[in-house]
Amino acid sequence: MREKFSEKVPLPAEVECEVKGRKIVIKKGNQEISKSIDVSSIRAKVEENHLVFECDDANKNHIKVIRSYMAHVRNMIAGLHEPFVYTLQAANVHFPMTLKIEGKKLLINNFLGEKKPRIAEIVDNVNVDVKGQVITVTSSEREKAGQTAANIEKATKVRNRDRRVFQDGIYITDKPGRNV
């Protein structure tokens, strides 16, 4: 059943929001986060202190996509107030690994005794801090912080060995929305 559907996301007073074509830009002070709308039948507009998503012939899939965009906008607003922080822990049993940041890459040396370093990509607008065996990933954009943490965790995936014996790697120990 297709019908006209619209949903509103309330905007805090200190946050400015504007829609430029198919792109949503949310600002607070000098911080700015943007998100593009990929579905052509969904429109966004700003009315008073709300961001409104609309679709003229919405089916259940359009409604799911609109609600996903609403969650993204809420995360963008939350990120402007307080950055998202992921904490990762490097665990090694066999060989001590060393971690070093070079530009937009995290180099993982001596992982399982390998001569060639493993490399994890750091996404733009993300800060990575290495203190000993603890890695902290911080960003005001939740998707980019999560992607960087996943890149680091995936770089140390053990292949062709028994996971019960070779438990070395870098693992996410704390992330936003989860209390461990």
Report field, pTM of the whole predicted structure over 0.85:
yes
42-97 pLDDT, tens digit per residue, is 999 999 899 999 999 888 999 999 999 999 999 999 999 999 999 999 998 878 99
- Spell 53-66 as b/e; 16+ CB within 10 A means b: bbbeebeeebeebb
CATH of domain 3-81: 3.90.930.12
Site of tokens 């609600």:
67
Site of tokens 């996410």:
172
The correct CATH number of 84-174 out of 3.90.930.12, 1.10.645.10, 3.30.420.40, 3.40.720.10 is 3.90.930.12
30-40 pLDDT, tens digit per residue, is 989 999 999 88
Amino acid present at 48:
E
Could you tell me whether strands 84-91 and 50-58 are parallel, antiparallel, or unpaired per DSSP bridges? Answer: unpaired
